[in-house]
A = this chain, B = another copy of it.
């Protein structure tokens, strides 16, 4: 069954920890109903409460397309932010770093500390230079090798895309991947054992042309196709 769950009900907007509890509560219902969620952000911190709902039985693998690893220890003194979700998820045993790949990493708004944690914890980090040098096909093969047959989540941060194509986001980094490359990459992930997906960090007011929304909607469509096929395969 494919359907639209509508907005996630969040009661506690001004306390991120409590808002995360609201999100987890909702996704546990989704998960217990046997539904595979495809979410639209929101900032990247939402992965943490989603993982708490859908990865409570066993750690999941992750294909993470982004300009940033989002594995800092803290941001401006806080542990729970859009720069830290995957570190928190690893610490909580929700995410298996050995089955995690991060693709498209680059730019000035990263911290070395976050990069180091990612690599030291066992995550396979594909910096943009490797992506551009080896090409999409090689990256697809590497992603499939890393995540294998286990349960895997797919998260797509719109800032992985070069900001010429998607200026409507909060931490743009130049020198990114093109929407065509992103589509090719996603299409190469057919047949994986996917347990969820999302597209995050879309901020329409920063884009007077509306292109960002169009790119995001297309990526959501591509991921939806992957999830449906994954569900069919498991039956």
Give every chain B residue within 8 A of A13 (Cβ-Cβ).
Answer: 76-78
Sample 14 A-B pairs with CB under 8 A, ordered by A number: A14-B76, A14-B78, A15-B78, A107-B218, A108-B221, A162-B164, A163-B211, A172-B211, A175-B179, A205-B205, A206-B209, A206-B210, A208-B208, A208-B209
Known contacts being A16-B14, A180-B128, is A163 close to B206, with CB within 8 Å?
Answer: no
Q: 4 tightest CB-CB pairs across the interface, nearest first? A: A14-B78, A167-B209, A175-B180, A164-B165
A contacts with B: majority SS: loop
Copies in the complex: 6
Whether A160 is near chain B, meaning CB under 8 Å from some CB there, is no
User: Hey, what's the 0/1 contact readout for A128-149 against B, CB within 8 Å counting as 1?
Assistant: 1000100000000000000000
Q: Chain A: how many interface residues by the 8 Å CB criterion?
A: 41
Output the least CB separation between A12 and chain B (Å). Answer: 6
A108→B163 CA distance, assembly (Å): 22
Does A174 touch B at the CB level, under 8 Å?
yes
Contact of A211 among B11, B77, B164, B218 (CB under 8 A): B164
Distance in angstroms between the alpha carbons of A128 and B218 in the assembled complex: 15
Write out the residue numbers on chain B whose beta carbons fall within 8 Å of the beta carbon of A102.
none
Shortest Cβ distance from A78 into B: residue: B14
A35 adjacent to chain B (CB < 8 Å):
no
Given contacts A13-B76, A132-B180, 7 further A-B contacts (CB under 8 A): A12-B76, A107-B218, A163-B211, A164-B179, A164-B211, A174-B179, A174-B180
Indicate if the CB atoms of B11 and A77 lie closer than 8 Å: yes
Instruction: Evaluate contact between A218 and B164: CB separation under 8 angstroms.
Output: no
Within 8 A of B (CB), among A199-226: 205-211, 214-215, 218, 221
Return the contact of A214 from the options B11, B172, B205 (Cβ within 8 A): B172
Kindly report which residue of chain B lies nearest to residue A170, judged by CB atoms: B205
Q: Known contacts being A164-B165, A172-B214, A174-B165, is A76 close to B11, with CB within 8 Å?
A: yes
Closest to A76 in B: B13
